[in-house]
Amino acid sequence: MRTRISVAVVAMAAVLGVSSATASVATLKATSRARSENLVQVAAADSQLSTLVTLVKKAGLVMTLSSPGAHLTVFAPDNAAFAALKKADPMTFNAVATTPALLKKVLTYHVLASEVEAPAAIALADKHGSVATVEGEKIALSVKGGNLFLNGSAEVIKADVSASNGVIHIIDAVLVPPSVKVNG
């Protein structure tokens, strides 16, 4: 089964014009499990996403991200990403964590209104593309050293985690929309 998935991804990548070397990076840790759980359920089952799940609940986004009719992409910061933001920029972390509107803005900046799997994201990144988020601002995609990056700094560390209503790409940094300015 895994061979079929890899061959299918490489074939899809070839159609999209992505090199097979890049496609193999995109398939790293891709999941082939049945898509019966929604995005929130999949995230809640992964201990490295517990901070994200807590904040999604706090922001009132559970219903939105659980919608069976949605086909979303979530760039999901892992627990270490939230810890790094708290350490590097405690003012921004505290503002986001304590201001519901700001929390919702930051979290929806991690969500795309369509399902974008890694090979398509890499093909777009190879063309220096960007994607519009549910929040409204764009995320720039790039490839460095064969890895997919968002806004030049957040790396996709686990791609294509399937859910019944979309796909999750786990990232190593929290994305803060460019319009968010936290005053001291």
Tell me: the pLDDT tens digits for 1-30? 332 223 233 333 333 333 333 333 334 334
**Tens of pLDDT along 125-139?**
999 999 999 999 999
The label of the residue with tokens 């030049």 reads 152
Q: What is the mean pLDDT of residues 32-40?
A: 75
Give the pLDDT confidence score for residue 181 in this predicted structure.
83
Q: What is the mean pLDDT of residues 174-182?
A: 91
For 109, the enclosing helix (H) or strand (E) is: none
In the chain, what are the domain boundaries?
2-171
Give the pLDDT confidence score for residue 101 in this predicted structure.
95
* 158 or 8, higher pLDDT: 158
Q: What is the mean pLDDT of residues 164-173?
A: 98
Least confident of 21-25, 119-123, 178-182: 21-25
Give the pLDDT confidence score for residue 172 in this predicted structure.
98
pLDDT of 72 above 70: yes
**Tens of pLDDT along 88-106?**
999 999 999 999 999 999 9
- Write out the two tokens for 56: 């999604």
pLDDT of 40 above 60: yes
- Write out the two tokens for 139: 């995320």
Structural contact between residues 26 and 159, judged by C-beta atoms closer than 8 angstroms = yes
C-alpha distances in angstroms, 18 versus 24, 84, 102, 121, 146? 10, 32, 37, 10, 11
The label of the residue with tokens 């074939």 reads 11
In the three-class reduction of DSSP (H, G, I as helix; E, B as strand; rest coil), residue 137 is classed as: coil
CATH number of the 2-171 domain: 2.30.180.10
Q: Of how many residues is the chain composed?
A: 184
On average, the pLDDT of the chain sits at: 84
* 146 or 40, higher pLDDT: 40
pLDDT of 60 above 50: yes
Give the pLDDT confidence score for residue 183 in this predicted structure.
67
- Give 171: exposed, middle or buried? Use CB within 10 Å, 0-12, 13-18, 19+: buried
Give the pLDDT confidence score for residue 184 in this predicted structure.
58
